Chains A and B, each alone.
Chain A
Amino acid sequence: MEAKTFKGGAHIPHYKSWTEDKPIEKLAIPPEVIIPLSQHIGAPNEPLVKKGDTVKVGQKIGDSEEYISAPIHSSVNGIVEDVDYYPYYAGGEALSVRIKTQGEDHDFQPSEERNPEEMSVEELQKAIREAGLVGMGGAAFPTHVNISPKTPVDSLLLNGAECEPFLTCDHRLMLEKADQLIAGAKIMMRCIGAEKCYIGIEVNKPDAIEKLQKMLENEPGMQVVPLEVKYPQGYKSTLIKAITGRDVPRGARSADLGCIVRNVGTTIAGYEAVVYGKPLIDRVVTVSGPNVGKPGNYIMKIGTPVSFIIDQCEVELVEGSKVVMGGPMTGNAQSSLEPGLVKSATGLLVIPPEMASADVPYTDCVRCGKCVEYCPMHLYPNQLSIYAEAELFDMLEKWNASDCMDCGICSYICPGQRPIADFVRKVQPELKRRSRAGKTG
């Protein structure tokens, strides 16, 4: 199979065999959910409920007047126990709604079934905004903003690369919900005015490629693009470059390049939002790792506590393990088991000590050049790590540190165990501050 790709990146072990053949199934309903009120990039939401309120599945519990925001809905029927700060998956605490679940049935019941073809573009965008859709591949940017481009866009790129190890939720969605995916893609195409749709899938998912290719035979303008199995193939910039061949200059938004990139999970959620008015209250999450007794791809309610998932999936939690919400390269390692599941969580991975990275002593850079060979942004991570460790901001600017998209491949490969990505991550806020100060002053 001819597969497209970009220059840079690396083949890394997949670790997908634990879950790639496991059909999507429902996880049990937890006794309580902890739903962070802001799960998107943008303006924070205000709570719409208070302690003691009764809430229903799909009821809006947080929203903001700002354009760049996405509302939050209750994922269960129950009673609000508390609106307060709770441990957050990305560290620290976040304003959250804790809901005690009541009753047996927590499925969303659509009040009507709408035909997207009879809806205007504004109605489609509004339905997606009201459903609280955000990028479900990890970015968590409000979807309605993405699909309201100001300049003409010719192509919709669906991201089915799923380049991070372990994760298989998008793979299963492409196999099991291909109809909704294609219908969702048509909705997105109408929203952005695109005439072409490319579904980028890494060739380690031949069943998904074959299935979608067959289904798209009679869909003009839509096609599957097989991609080389390489990390980070599924990043926005590398995906655009691989599929369209278009360069992605610094600061350009994808709309400027004539394309919009959407994750396959988000696209399916978009279909459900438009047709059934279903808000983003649950998602498919890959629970995996060698010590997971029941690994799989589970539909879970947003807000499901990590500890509940660990229990339900019969995880043997060995001392020194990492519990990661998201993918193994870019997700967040949990320091407690309390946080609730968020909309952008692709996985809940339990990585035992022998596989996990850790805070270990690292050497000086030995200049082996592997990070330089693999960096998808074509930077010099070797230099950046030294400058970032020493906080030499002029040098960091000169060597384009702010181009880093934090894929983590440099840290993964470094023979000196240097936490290169983390060094560079830590200087980004100061680099942003300097860049803003430079522009205004």
Chain B
Amino acid sequence: MKGVSYMNPKLNASPAPHIKSDENVGKAMRDTMLALIPITLVSIYFFRVYAVVFIAVCMATAALTEIVVRKLQNRPHSLQDGSALLTGLLVALCFAATTAWWKGVLATIIAVAIAKELMGGLGWNRFNPALFGRVSMILLAPWFVGISTEFMRWNVDFGPVDVTTQATPLAMMHQGLELPGFGSLLMAYPGGAMGEVSPLALILGGAYLLYRKHINWRIPVSIIGTVFILTLVTGQNPLNHIATGGLMLGAFFMATDWVTSPITEKGKIVFGVAIGILIVVFRVGLAPTEGVAFSILIMNAFVPMIENATKRKPFSEPKKIMVSTEN
């Protein structure tokens, strides 16, 4: 018998555990896209064909970018996991619907190619790809002044949409203008980026992600809570602050990104509170735009440090070693 080992080809003998949950990355990405449907629908309701085209352009660009970059890297694409499409959708929601479509294309290429694939692909990126793409466009803005006449010819005009010229509530707040009521701000108020028009739709989506256990309550609660408290103590109207700008999109969909947020329980709270503080600093002290995006990206850089500082003790290292005294 020695040396003879008979393997039954019918049997799967892979190592333990022998059963597997039905969790997979694609399912989580699809659920996140599902959670973004309410805000997408509200955007389409307000901005009609502008929203449809801009979102479609960004999502298609994201898919193509992943295919091309992976091709150059000689790796198979992983469109089936939905990560690229989700990035495309998130980039789109960071822009106003009437933004020139080529800006969306450029932002998406930067998000997928540079912020994600060149960083090593999903799992290795340090910064939230969609936000990275979005703020790159701000930094590149001066450059656009020169080339936009060239690109303008390619812009498509879908005709006027009533609401697109409205100032964003945050800008109104900054200029000391009268804001619409909290109720209408929360429900839906067109102005600014698509992902800002309806905090309620985003809360709905966020609640779904919490229910499906894809995100943890710690990050959104600590961000929103910090913004609320800090604006309250600095004498502002906290309700207006939490119902405006990209706060809900950032708190539920951007800061909770698995890859770029701390994995530790305490770390999530530290991360959320720090983002909340930065948001208030940006909003009160600096320009009334993209405060949420910059705050999250800045804190993305601190994630490894936060994780290290908030590491839990292993089960085998109890605080006090108990010696049996019963008997």
Specify which chain A residues have a CB less than 8 angstroms from the CB of B123 in the assembled complex: 363-367, 416
Q: How far is the CB of B220 from chain A (nearest CB, A)?
A: 15
Tell me what chain B mostly uses at the interface: helix, strand, loop, or mixed.
loop
B13 within 8 A of A: yes
Specify which chain A residues have a CB less than 8 angstroms from the CB of B19 in the assembled complex: 12-13, 15, 165, 328-329, 351, 355-357, 412
CB < 8 Å neighbour of A335 from B7, B263, B311, B315: B7
Size category of the binding interface on chain B = 35 or more
State the interface size on chain A (CB cutoff 8 A): 81
Specify which chain B residues have a CB less than 8 angstroms from the CB of A224 in the assembled complex: none
Judge whether A333 and B18 touch: CB under 8 Å: yes
Tell me what chain A mostly uses at the interface: helix, strand, loop, or mixed.
loop
Judge whether B315 and A382 touch: CB under 8 Å: no
Which residues of A in the span 361-384 have a Cβ within 8 Å of any Cβ on B? 363-370, 372, 376-380, 382
A353 within 8 A of B: yes
Specify which chain B residues have a CB less than 8 angstroms from the CB of A241 in the assembled complex: 315
The CA-CA distance from A355 to B5 in the complex, in Å, is 27
The CA-CA distance from A323 to B13 in the complex, in Å, is 8
The CA-CA distance from A317 to B9 in the complex, in Å, is 12
CB < 8 Å neighbour of B14 from A82, A165, A251, A357: A357
Judge whether A86 and B316 touch: CB under 8 Å: no
The CA-CA distance from A257 to B21 in the complex, in Å, is 35
Most buried by A among B16, B120, B259, B317: B16
The CA-CA distance from A413 to B120 in the complex, in Å, is 24
A178 within 8 A of B: no
A188 within 8 A of B: no
Which residues of B in the span 208-232 have a Cβ within 8 Å of any Cβ on A? 214, 216
List 7 A-B pairs, Cβ < 8 Å: A322-B14, A328-B19, A359-B14, A363-B122, A367-B261, A380-B311, A414-B23
Judge whether B322 and A322 touch: CB under 8 Å: no
CB < 8 Å neighbour of B263 from A92, A372, A400: A372
A93 within 8 A of B: yes
Judge whether B6 and A411 touch: CB under 8 Å: no
Q: How far is the CB of A179 from chain B (nearest CB, A)?
A: 28
Specify which chain B residues have a CB less than 8 angstroms from the CB of A406 in the assembled complex: 16
A358 within 8 A of B: yes
Q: Which of A140-148, A242-250, A297-305 contacts B (4 or more CB under 8 A)?
A: A242-250
Judge whether B17 and A330 touch: CB under 8 Å: yes
Specify which chain B residues have a CB less than 8 angstroms from the CB of A313 in the assembled complex: none
A320 within 8 A of B: yes
Specify which chain B residues have a CB less than 8 angstroms from the CB of A379 in the assembled complex: 314-315
Judge whether A333 and B258 touch: CB under 8 Å: no
Specify which chain B residues have a CB less than 8 angstroms from the CB of A86 in the assembled complex: 1
Which residues of B in the span 288-327 have a Cβ within 8 Å of any Cβ on A? 311-322, 324, 326-327
CB < 8 Å neighbour of A320 from B1, B12, B124: B12
